[in-house]
Amino acid sequence: MKIAITGGKAEADFLAASLKEHHKLAVINPDTEYARYLADIHNIPVVCGDPRKAYVLEDAGIRHFDALVSLMADDADSLAVCQLAKEKFGVKKTIAVVTNPRNVELFRTFGVTEVVSSAYMVSQHLAQLSTLSSLVSSFSLENEKIVLTELDVSPGSRTAGLPVCSMHLPPHVIIACIIRSGNMIVPDGQTVVNTGDRLVVLSAAEVQNKLIALFMPEKGSI
């Protein structure tokens, strides 16, 4: 892939080191000293300039690149770089690393493909830890909008012994598979779920707690 890395210090250094073997990189850094350091240590071409300027991106030759990562110190600058790359240079995917977690959803609505915020990730992770018991593990997709939940059917849960069609599952939930004594079963509506079964469930994030409650003991701790 052809990947552009704009702005940033240690993050740019790390990305250049891990990507340069297998990808064609264009590195753009506004800091003269740091641009020189990156070029020397990684032995790659680095454009020293302000990536918010169209002529700088032109110089770096990023037209129709597969991806651009923006690591600018100011979130607004990262958005400006991503939008310029997408609009004027046809860059396919743009990734912005932001400091304000409220900009994650916002920048996605403004056309940035992926928005990454460490505070946002930590808060999502802690929220998951605090709601899920040790019986449950979960994995998020699509910026935390979709979750894959793995859970065990507890004795005394109101769904144990019922066929899938009578469980009154919330909307946007699908039981992807049942793991029973090491074997995988892809359920249909008639499949009965038993205590001790492990389920892998795909659902919208907002119904996850409701879903977990269905498979926990009725007077559970959740």
Q: Is 76 in the site for other proteins (CB under 8 A)?
A: yes
Rule CB under 8 A: say whether 101 interacts with other proteins: no
74: contact with other proteins by CB under 8 A: yes
Give yes or no for residue 100 binding other proteins (CB under 8 A): yes
Which of 64, 102, 125, 172 is in the footprint of other proteins by CB under 8 A?
A: 102
**Judged by CB under 8 A, which stretch of 40-48, 50-58, 116-124, 125-133 contacts other proteins?**
50-58
Considering only CA atoms, which of 208, 207, 187 is closest in space to residue 197? 187
Please name which of 134, 146, 84, 88 lies closest in space to residue 112, comparing C-alpha atoms: 84
**Binding of residue 79 to other proteins (CB under 8 A):** yes
| Cα gap 173→144, rounded to integer Å | 15
Task: Give dist(CA 41, CA 15) in Å, integer.
Answer: 13
Q: How many CB atoms lie under 10 A from the CB of residue 177?
A: 15
Would you count residue 192 as binding other proteins (CB under 8 A)?
no
197 lines the binding site for other proteins (CB under 8 A):
no
67-70 and 93-97 beta bridge pairing = parallel
What 3-state class would DSSP assign to 198?
Answer: strand
CB of 204 to other proteins, least distance (A): 22
Contact present, 153 and 159 (Cβ < 8 Å): yes
119 part of the interface to other proteins, by CB under 8 A: no
Name the residues that contact other proteins, by CB under 8 A. 52-54, 74-77, 79-80, 83-84, 87-88, 100, 102, 106, 109-110
